[in-house]
Amino acid sequence: MSFITEEQGSSIAQWLGYAETYSSRDIILHHRTIDTFANIGYVSNRDSKPHLPINQKFGDIIFFDRINTNKFHPFVRIVDEVNDEKLTKNKISMGGNVYDEAITSKLNGNGIRVLGVNQADHLITLTFRKLPSDKEYLKLFKEREMIPGGIEDQIIQDWKERFGLLTKEEVDVKLNELLRDNQRIADELGFRARMWQKMSNV
């Protein structure tokens, strides 16, 4: 099953390419139900260079483009399909990884992570995160003993910054996702044991 059309894949690749020039890998699509368009932006980081004066800034998000509503709704359907349920009112979809030829071929073999939020006031936000390739992950795992704190600590810190404090159940779900996506290069039991030990010391 294909989640992404060629047109969407090209748009995502173009948006991510723009975002990466500002040291960001996160794209936000934001739509208010009263609008006939959706804004496209990237999440700025501390090391991001100043955004263009013509772009709008809301918190850490820099909006640089917009699309019509009829082009936005297919992105909502991507979130629905990735999470196997509709992104209905007052729902947060934690997302999933998508490796689809329509996008991976344009991102040097990488996929994207799709998340969605439909708030009570019908504000919808979709975040796209480009994923490291298996080769990049393998390099990180091989180097984990040489990285201060190990790659596990880096993953924990990344989750903490992105999701805040996670419950044990949420950590277990994320570990399962990570291990499923990298089962060829991760020793599941050993990695899980190290992660739980390190999480208990955070």
Q: How far is CA 129 from the centre of its chain?
A: 3
Task: Note the pLDDT of residue 184.
Answer: 45
Nearest to 190 by CA among 135, 158, 145: 145
The domain defined by 6-130 carries CATH number 1.10.540: no
- Residue ranges, comma separated, of all CATH 3.30.450 domains in the chain are 6-130
Tell how many helices (H) and how many strands (E) occur in the chain. Answer: 7, 7
Task: Note the pLDDT of residue 150.
Answer: 60
Task: Note the pLDDT of residue 152.
Answer: 66
Task: Note the pLDDT of residue 113.
Answer: 84
- DSSP alpha helix (H) spans, 5-149: 6-20, 69-83, 101-104, 134-142
Mean pLDDT split into 10-residue runs, the chain, 202 residues = 82 91 88 89 86 88 93 90 84 78 81 81 68 64 59 71 76 75 50 58 54
